[in-house]
Copies of this chain bind each other. A is one copy, B any other.
Amino acid sequence: MILFFMSERLSAATTHRIAAKSRCYILIPMRSLFLLLTSSLFLFPALQADDGYRLWLRYDPIPDQALGSSYAKVFSHFYLVTSSGTDSPTLAAARAELRAGISGLVGITPEITLTRLVAQNNLGADGFAYTSNREGSTIHANSDLGILYGVFDLLRHIQTCQSLDKFNVTSTPRIQRRLLNHWDNLNRTVERGYAGFSLWEWFYLPEIRNPRYRDYARACASIGINGTVLTNVNADAQILTPAYLVKVAGLADEFRPYGVRVYLTARFSAPIEIGGLKTADPLDPGVVAWWKAKIDEIYRYVPDFGGFLVKANSEGQPGPQDYKRTHADGANLFADALASHGGIVMWRAFVYSPDNNDDRVKQAVTEFGPLDGKFRDNVIVQIKNGPLDFMPREPFSPLFGSMPHTRLAAELEITQEYLGQSVQLAYLAPMWKEVLESDTYASGPGSTVARVIDGSLFVSGGTRPPDGFSSAGIKQTRPEAGFHPTDLNATATPTVIAGVANTGTDRNWTGHLLAQANLYAYGRLAWDHSLASEAIATEWTRMTFGSDVTVNDVVSKMLLSSRETVVNYSMPLGLHHIMAEGNHYGPGPWVDKLARADWTAVYYHKADEKGLGFDRTSAGSNALAQYAPEWQKLWGSLETCPENLLLWFHHVPWDHKMKSGHTLWDELCLHYQQGVQEVRTLQRDWDSLKGRIDEERFTAVRQRLVRQELDARDWRDACLLYFQQFAQRPFPTGIEPAAHPLDYYESIKLRNMPGHR
């Protein structure tokens, strides 16, 4: 139990903004101290200005005194039991975290005892188990990193005020490599980054190291993230030169105690650009030798380098097809050179050819399907959740069900490129869960996307971590070449999940304070994709805003409804890719003349006098054929297709009768209006928390909700005025009149937007 109060209102808070260090200390102005010393204890909580820097790792005192007392009795002594046997920076970090957390939350300084014990097989490389009773708490793991993860989990249980019987936990991650992908450029701009600029201060490295590097790694570790791709998939070969590798090594040093390994993006044409070669042909012996030497060099700088993420032959990036080679040829080039070091290649399947006029959403399967089985064992094909490009709602990518002989990773976008960026509220866990729980039927019912990427689908017996496809007899894995020491069970191609980071230099890391929930949810789902969106939302809210039940209820509710709200006012009923060109922020259904047809909006919504939507049935592009028969049946019929994907799969007549009884046109209008109203509800909900959340965080979110309402109205008005030209029907009752004529919206040109290259 901890005293925690201030006698003064923070009237000078805005004149005196100094981030709070409110760990394990009580804060008492002098006058109060005399009061304290001369009178009985009078305790009350207070709200301190808070800039959000601490993320969910707040460690403020548990306000429930009874619970705090019971915690104090149990958490006075910890036994950390690991098979590693020697102390390490990771164990030091674990102890420091435990001390900071316990003393902050519970108000005592715990004793910590380190013990060596043989490995516990059920815990794998990163797993942990802990038990707590009156004699103390014991955290078991096979690795030091497992201990650190156990510490964070135990502290999370305390911070969310779990009852003491909940402190017997065994947990192992379902996916081995839980990565963040940073689309960060070397000039510190971040492609699709909306929280300031890149955290990596390249010019100042390696000598000058921002303390934030450690804080970043610590935040990653707290949610189980164990790898980070530092650079943009639209890659710059300079990162592979010695001048930069020494800087990469500096970052790797900072991250290592927290178990966060460094990966880089490889520019396919690097042998030409920085190697002086005439070609980057993956089958050219000189190119093969160059990459071998380059990768050997990287490992001299970073001995536990994780590997490469590659975007090739996609949106102008160079790649093997430039030399009439396949994606497999390209990926295997890197894989062979990385194998001896235990490195992996994540090869992105986000491709659509400039020469292919077929429906863009079909092209990944068209290109990658035939390559199944042709990749080396340390290649993972990385697939965006949907077949198009991180839309507010897409069906799952059919590629997940199309490559049974290849390790597949899911690429989720934490940064809200198409969902209002860092201005609008959109909690993404429900969207990710939709995809993870989608059934590919690739190996019969239950073949969910989650089971494809966690490696459990094709593995007999279901042991975890998976050993690739070997025991299913589909593909024989090579003996382990030397993966990271913590990958104790990584005897085969590791399982991978990737999240495109929403972090940046903004003080609160994510721009929108509530977007911290997306980073958190990504990490939690990467560890265990079976967690429910609701549970994660509740957990994050408690971690972030404390134990006020009203705050918890309201914020959780806001989070859980928020993504559907964005869908409603931007791209409802299966609409997609109708946003403004380039910046992807506001509406742009009129976008029709770009270098490629499949970059326009009209290509996707296909509005005409008859109706709206993209016919992807056999009568149209037949993208539907890439899915299992079960989906073809459900989605192929106007009657059975879920309405939230209707316009994705069908060109629907304006007068089509929807389940509500409305026509499509009326329903479309009402969805846009509904979206605006829901933003106003978000505003009201948030405003109801005034006084329950510190003023700084309250105001920060409030200002963004004000802007979101303006944005939502722009979306509604622009889209409805535009589509009305085709529908030629009046607005139904309840639709607020547009503030401006259509040409006003069409003329908006946002400049200097965040998030560009």
Using a CB–CB distance below 8 Å, which chain A residues touch chain B? 1-3, 6, 8, 11-12, 14-31, 33, 37, 48-49, 51, 53-54, 57, 59, 93, 96-97, 99-100, 103, 107-109, 185-188, 196-197, 202-204, 207-209, 211-212, 214-215, 218, 238, 243, 423, 505, 507, 696, 699-700, 703-704, 706-707, 710, 750-754
A109 to B204, CA, bound (A): 43
Whether A18 touches B202, Cβ cut-off 8 Å, given contacts A26-B28, A196-B197, A197-B196, is no
Q: Are B15 and A24 in touch, CB under 8 angstroms?
A: no
The number of times this chain is found in the oligomer is: 2
Q: Are A14 and B710 in touch, CB under 8 angstroms?
A: no
Q: Are A25 and B21 in touch, CB under 8 angstroms?
A: no
Q: Are A423 and B204 in touch, CB under 8 angstroms?
A: yes
CB-nearest residue of chain B to A754: B203
A18 to B208, CA, bound (A): 19
A592 to B223, CA, bound (A): 54
A51 to B218, CA, bound (A): 18
Q: Are B209 and A703 in touch, CB under 8 angstroms?
A: yes
Name 20 extra pairs, CB < 8 A, besides A26-B27, A29-B103.
A2-B30, A8-B24, A11-B99, A12-B97, A14-B211, A16-B23, A16-B97, A17-B212, A17-B215, A19-B21, A21-B27, A24-B30, A185-B752, A186-B752, A188-B752, A207-B704, A207-B707, A208-B423, A208-B707, A212-B507
Q: Are A6 and B30 in touch, CB under 8 angstroms?
A: no
- What is the minimal beta-carbon distance from A257 to any residue of chain B, in angstroms? 8
Cβ–Cβ < 8 Å partners of A11 in chain B: 96, 99
A-B contact pairs, 11 of them (CB 8 A): A21-B22, A21-B48, A25-B28, A26-B26, A37-B37, A203-B752, A207-B703, A207-B706, A208-B423, A208-B700, A212-B507
CB-nearest residue of chain B to A30: B107
- What is the minimal beta-carbon distance from A570 to any residue of chain B, in angstroms? 18
A722 to B414, CA, bound (A): 51
- What is the minimal beta-carbon distance from A246 to any residue of chain B, in angstroms? 12
Find the residue from A19, A25, A700 having the highest chain B CB count within 10 A.
A25
Q: Are A505 and B197 in touch, CB under 8 angstroms?
A: yes
Cβ–Cβ < 8 Å partners of A18 in chain B: 19-23, 53-54
Cβ–Cβ < 8 Å partners of A29 in chain B: 24-26, 103, 107, 109
Q: Are A51 and B196 in touch, CB under 8 angstroms?
A: no
Cβ–Cβ < 8 Å partners of A27 in chain B: 21, 25-27
Cβ–Cβ < 8 Å partners of A707 in chain B: 204, 207-208
A21 to B103, CA, bound (A): 18
A208 to B423, CA, bound (A): 9
Cβ–Cβ < 8 Å partners of A54 in chain B: 18
Q: Are A703 and B208 in touch, CB under 8 angstroms?
A: yes
Q: Are B26 and A3 in touch, CB under 8 angstroms?
A: no
A706 to B209, CA, bound (A): 12
Cβ–Cβ < 8 Å partners of A107 in chain B: 29-31
By secondary structure, the A interface counts as loop
Cβ–Cβ < 8 Å partners of A203 in chain B: 750, 752-754
Q: Are A26 and B30 in touch, CB under 8 angstroms?
A: yes
Contact of A3 among B21, B25, B30 (CB under 8 A): B30
Q: Are A1 and B15 in touch, CB under 8 angstroms?
A: no
- What is the minimal beta-carbon distance from A748 to any residue of chain B, in angstroms? 9
Contact of A53 among B19, B28, B57, B197 (CB under 8 A): B19
Q: Are A12 and B100 in touch, CB under 8 angstroms?
A: yes
Cβ–Cβ < 8 Å partners of A31 in chain B: 107-109
A2 to B48, CA, bound (A): 20
- What is the minimal beta-carbon distance from A34 to any residue of chain B, in angstroms? 10
A108 to B20, CA, bound (A): 21
Cβ–Cβ < 8 Å partners of A1 in chain B: 30
Q: Are A15 and B93 in touch, CB under 8 angstroms?
A: yes
Q: Are B505 and A196 in touch, CB under 8 angstroms?
A: yes
Cβ–Cβ < 8 Å partners of A750 in chain B: 203
Q: Are B14 and A108 in touch, CB under 8 angstroms?
A: no
CB-nearest residue of chain B to A15: B96
Cβ–Cβ < 8 Å partners of A209 in chain B: 703
- What is the minimal beta-carbon distance from A497 to any residue of chain B, in angstroms? 26
Q: Are B51 and A211 in touch, CB under 8 angstroms?
A: yes
Q: Are A218 and B15 in touch, CB under 8 angstroms?
A: yes
Cβ–Cβ < 8 Å partners of A16 in chain B: 23, 57, 59, 96-97, 100, 218
Q: Are B208 and A704 in touch, CB under 8 angstroms?
A: yes
Whether A15 touches B211, Cβ cut-off 8 Å, given contacts A197-B505, A203-B752, A505-B505, is no
A471 to B49, CA, bound (A): 53
CB-nearest residue of chain B to A58: B18
CB-nearest residue of chain B to A711: B207
A15 to B93, CA, bound (A): 7
CB-nearest residue of chain B to A54: B18
Q: Are A202 and B30 in touch, CB under 8 angstroms?
A: no
- What is the minimal beta-carbon distance from A234 to any residue of chain B, in angstroms? 15
Cβ–Cβ < 8 Å partners of A186 in chain B: 751-752
- What is the minimal beta-carbon distance from A684 to any residue of chain B, in angstroms? 17
A188 to B195, CA, bound (A): 13
Cβ–Cβ < 8 Å partners of A103 in chain B: 8, 29-30
Cβ–Cβ < 8 Å partners of A700 in chain B: 208, 211
Cβ–Cβ < 8 Å partners of A215 in chain B: 17
7 closest A-B pairs (Cβ-Cβ)?
A19-B19, A30-B107, A25-B27, A12-B96, A12-B100, A207-B707, A186-B752
A699 to B208, CA, bound (A): 9
Cβ–Cβ < 8 Å partners of A188 in chain B: 197, 752, 754
A752 to B757, CA, bound (A): 13
Cβ–Cβ < 8 Å partners of A37 in chain B: 37
- What is the minimal beta-carbon distance from A25 to any residue of chain B, in angstroms? 4
CB-nearest residue of chain B to A704: B208
